[in-house]
A and B are shown apart, each in its own frame.
Chain A
Amino acid sequence: MDCRNIVSLGEKVLDGYRLTADDAAALTRVASPDIPILAAYANKIRHRYTGEGVDMCGIVNARSGLCSEDCKFCAQSVHHSTSAPVYPLLDAGQIVAAARKAQDEGAKRLSVVTSGKGMENDPDFSVIVTAIQTVIAATGLKVCANLGTITAAQAKTLAEAGVKRYAHNLETSRRHYPSVCTSHPYDERLATVAAAKAAGLELCTGGIIGLGETWQDRVDMALALRDIDPESVPINILNPIKGTAFESLQPPPPLEIIKTFAILRFILPDKIIRPAGGREINLRDMQGWLMLSGANGLIIGNYLTFSGRDAAADFRMVRDAGLQPL
């Protein structure tokens, strides 16, 4: 696909056109010298559909490690020997303190994350619900929850407790998923996402790039996300953690990351597309460009098991790009 095709497809998306799978596959064949034009069109689409706001979300790892699942990228899986922190559920006071820290850094949204497959039969669930209510009362932050698989009843409980949005990733495409995780199926993820949606929760659902997937897998994940219709799509870029099954995978180079975000914006014109973990290590000083390539959200502060950078740097970067942190 050359510049002319990028431009004509970009124009169509600006006019409301919905990309076909073939269109998306063609975008993956854009050559390196044309990536800036592709990225610029993604930026134009972002501007048209979502404006200049950038959604800034902080996270708290409220329970870390000892996860029964075997997701090959994950530092918290018991199947891996990593130096990731391991601790039981933080108490409400600690979670509120983490929330206040995120708020001080400028976040308007906080995601409470726990390790583990999910909440079915988990006695921590009611403790978490109470903690979330405390956070909302104490800070006024918009609170999201990221607790793994949940039942329809639990989704309803979270919605009633004031949770705005449920975060649950697809991680990758259906085809590639078995190469990433074997301890629970892709359909179980879809079921959780559906349960959250049915309970009236917004969704924050995305995945990770750099897991050995093909371009077609990335497109397929994006198309699956389009069907799910989440408000927010977090995209992590693999940070290969020593001790994980994917410790030796080579993450995609910066230009390929930019191209991926741009294609996601073409496929998901009106969503929050949120660069998440791994952006600093993989994009280095090219993160500013990413903000002009279709992205309109960020995870700020630290990630689950590794550090991010100073949130102030992210706020400056967003403003330098002419955008407005929300």
Chain B
Amino acid sequence: MSYDLIFSVGKKVLAGESISFDEALALTGIDDSDIPILLGVANKVRQTFTGNYVDTCEIVNARSGNCSEDCKFCAQSAHHEVQLNVYPLMSEDEILRAAKKAETDGAYRFCIVTAGCGMDGDTDFARITAAIERIGRETGLNRCCSLGLLTAEHVAALKAAGITRYHHNLEASESFFPNICTTHSYQDRIQTIKQIKAAGLQVCSGGIIGMGENWRQRLELAFALKELDVDSIPVNVLNPVAGTALEKQSKLKPMEILQTFALFRLILPTKIIRYAGGREHALGELVPLGFLSGVNGMLIGNYLTTSGRGAADDLTTVTGLGLQPMCKKAQ
């Protein structure tokens, strides 16, 4: 019976052992009616290893669109014809305003995100570090950024500016990556993550599900993140944007999405597994169940190019479930 497997794997993970790839793969084939049991076991693992805190992060899209890369899901790629608000780097004051809003919303972290392949030869970089420093002076937020591929010099400069964590997704497994991006490689991404880690910064790295990958590839992504020992794993659910190459991609079933979160929790028991973009669109009223299926972090407010439902609603949901949002205000 499939729930014998759920419980035997659950016990193993609760005892501090690792789930094997084959065990995780077997758990992708359980009966639909057993999925809530898997979710309950993942919840128990989440509670045991990370307690009742939910990490909250708000982002600002500080530079939007015109990206040279061809990531097939992305509304900001120059390869796609998308209705998008395209703008150059925001002024320092604008970025600070976004940070202050995040703090008011109750965010624990604030992440500055810029469109583009990376910072190599990018004249905006110095302005971004200045903004990071200013946010450090004028708010109590933990500061993160997501600026694409970096060199070791950039990493050192960001660390000096006060960044505690850098965000850089793998997006997908190594085997699926060529299907979603051809302008840079999976190894380029791994390289940036390794540089971040080498500098002693924390890493926020995850991906997107629902891009046409199979279960095996989804699990490969989770195991790759485990191998890299990243601190926070944002999991986006594809919200197909008109004009992108994936605009016609069919939706995942909500229960399969929750099953994915639960498996990520079993594979990565001690990490922050973070709800990111697309959750409202994909899960509807099952969003709260994610917080009882292994999720212990979330982006709040808006995403890069799509709207969230508002920080207050998400925080109400979390507290209604008996969980505790991490936020500066509460400390």
Contact = CB atoms under 8 A, between A and B. Distances in A.
- The bracket for how many chain B residues form the interface is 20 to 34
Interface of A: 3, 7, 32-34, 36-37, 39-41, 43-44, 47-48, 253-255, 284-289, 292, 313, 316-317, 320-322
Interface string B250-291: 000111000000000000000000000000000111111100
A317 B285 contact: yes
Given A33-B47, A286-B289, 19 more contacts: A36-B36, A39-B36, A40-B36, A43-B33, A44-B34, A44-B37, A254-B321, A284-B320, A285-B313, A285-B317, A286-B288, A289-B288, A289-B292, A316-B285, A317-B284, A320-B286, A321-B254, A321-B286, A322-B32
Contacts, number: 88
Contact of A40 (B37, B284, B285): B37
Contacts of A292: 36, 289
Interface string B39-61: 11101100100000000000000
Interface centre among A40, A255, A313 (most CB of B within 10 A): A40
16 contacts: A33-B44, A37-B43, A43-B33, A47-B33, A253-B320, A255-B320, A284-B320, A285-B288, A286-B289, A288-B285, A288-B286, A288-B288, A288-B289, A320-B285, A320-B286, A322-B32
Contacts of A322: 32, 35, 253-255
Interface in B124-144: none
Interface of B: 3, 7, 32-37, 39-41, 43-44, 47, 253-255, 283-289, 292-293, 313, 316-317, 320-322
A98 B168 CA distance: 55
Contact of B37 (A33, A41, A320): A41
Contacts of B253: 322
Contacts of B254: 320-322
Nearest to B31: A47
Given A37-B37, A320-B283, A289 B320 contact: no
Q: Binding site of A, secondary structure by majority: helix, strand, loop or mixed?
A: helix
A287 B3 CA distance: 25
Contacts of B3: 44
B94 to A, nearest CB: 32
A320 B43 contact: no
Interface centre among A33, A289, A316 (most CB of B within 10 A): A289
Given A32-B322, A284-B317, A44 B286 contact: no
A286 B320 contact: yes
Contact of B285 (A7, A41, A255, A285): A285
A32 B32 CA distance: 24
B43 A316 contact: no
Contacts of B283: 288, 320
A316 B44 contact: no
A49 B76 CA distance: 49
Contacts of A288: 283-289
Interface centre among A3, A37, A39 (most CB of B within 10 A): A37
Nearest to B34: A44
A255 B321 CA distance: 6
Given A36-B43, A253-B320, A255-B321, A289 B286 contact: yes
Given A37-B44, A321-B255, A255 B288 contact: no
Contacts of A34: 44
Given A44-B34, A47-B33, A289 B289 contact: yes
B284 A320 contact: yes
A253 B253 CA distance: 28
Contacts of B285: 285-288, 313, 316-317, 320
